[in-house]
Structure 1
C-alpha cells in the first residue's frame, strides 16, 4: 500500500515528492504491483488454478482425514458429482446459451416462442422443425449451440 500526501498546490506536491524520494518509492511500488499481478498461483502448466474455497470447520476436518489431502478429495468429489449428473448441467447450459442467442437475434422470427418451448422441453427434432423457415445460418448456429459440450474425463 502506498500513501500519498496530496495536500497543497501542484508545485508543492512535486517539490515534496522530489525532496523525499517519494517519486522513486511510488515508481517502485507500481512496478512491484504490476509484477505481482502477472504472477499466477497454482500450477498453470498443468492447468491447475488456485481459487478460494469457503467451508465450515467440520468440512475442513473431514477433508483433512481424506487420503491425498483436501485438494485431491475435492477434485474427486467434483468428478463424482459430474459423473452422477448424467450431463444434465451441460444440457441446461446449452439450453440457456441457445436461448440467449435466439432471444437476441431471432425473437421476431416466426415460431420463436414454440421453438424456445421445445428447446427447454429437450425435444431436439421438434426444435429443428420449428426453425425450418429461419435463415440457415441462424438455424444451424442455434442447433450447434443447443448441443451439450462434450466433456473429457480429465476436464
Structure 2
C-alpha cells in the first residue's frame, strides 16, 4: 500500500508512537525519526497494514510524492457506472434451476443472497478483522515485549480483560493502539 492511498495512519519509532493522522500530516515526523537513525514503522489505521513512505530527498520531495495521483483500475465487462462487474459463477444444475425461478432472475437472487449474508456477518467480520489487525500490529511492534504471547492468546480467545491485563505493562502508545484495533 502506498502512503497516498491511506486515509489515516500511525507511525512508531520502536515502541514509541511518534505521529498519527493523514500521510501528509505525519510525513515530517516519520522523516525526522528516520533521519535520526530510528527504525520507523507506519500502519494504516483501518487494518494495521504497513504503509510505505518514500523518504528520499527533503520533506518537500516526500510530500510531493505523497500527492501523486493513484491510477484507477481498469474495469472489464459489466455496468461500470453502477460498479457492476461480470464474473463467472459455477453452480450445480439444481442451483441454476432455483435461481432461474426467482423473481428478477439469477442476478437479482444472487445479489439478495449476498446482501443478506453480508448483513448477518457484519458483526463477526468486524471482530475478526479487528483481531487480525491487532495481531498484525502486535507482531510487528510488540513481539519482543513481555506478555506478547499471552496477549496473543487472549486476543484470539476473545478475552478482553485478559488481553488488557497482558498488555498493561507495554508502552502507552503501543498498548492503546493495539487495544483500539481490537475494538475497531
Q: Kindly report which structure 2 residues correspond to 1:4-153, keeping only aligned pairs within 5 A, or say none.
A: 38-85=74-121, 87-148=123-184
Q: Considering fraction of residues, name the structure with more strand.
A: 2
Distance, in Å, in 2 between the alignment partners of 1:70 and 1:119 is 41
- In structure 2, do the counterparts of structure 1 residues 87 and 54 end up closer, same or farther at CA, with 3 Å as the change threshold? same
Aligned alpha-carbon RMSD (Å): 2.4
Q: Deviations over 1:71-109 (max 9, x none)?
A: 221121122223334622332232123212212221111
SS in 1 for 2:85: coil
Q: Considering fraction of residues, name the structure with more helix.
A: 1
Which structure has more relative contact order (CA 8 Å, sep 6+)? It is 2
Q: Normalising to structure 2: TM-score of the pair?
A: 0.52
Rg (Cα) greater in structure: 1
Distance, in Å, in 2 between the alignment partners of 1:45 and 1:128 is 46
Distance, in Å, in 1 between the alignment partners of 2:161 and 2:79 is 44
Q: Give 1:119 shift.
A: 0.9
- In structure 2, do the counterparts of structure 1 residues 84 and 38 end up closer, same or farther at CA, with 3 Å as the change threshold? closer
- Between 100-109 and 124-133, the greater mean CA deviation after superposition: 124-133
- Structure 2 runs not aligned, ≥5 long: 1-72
Aligned length: 112
Distance, in Å, in 1 between the alignment partners of 2:174 and 2:125 is 24
Q: Deviations over 1:26-72 (max 9, x none)?
A: xxxxxxxxxxx934333343333333322122211211111122122
SS in 1 for 2:138: helix
- In structure 2, do the counterparts of structure 1 residues 70 and 99 end up closer, same or farther at CA, with 3 Å as the change threshold? same
Distance, in Å, in 2 between the alignment partners of 1:69 and 1:53 is 14
- In structure 2, do the counterparts of structure 1 residues 80 and 108 end up closer, same or farther at CA, with 3 Å as the change threshold? same
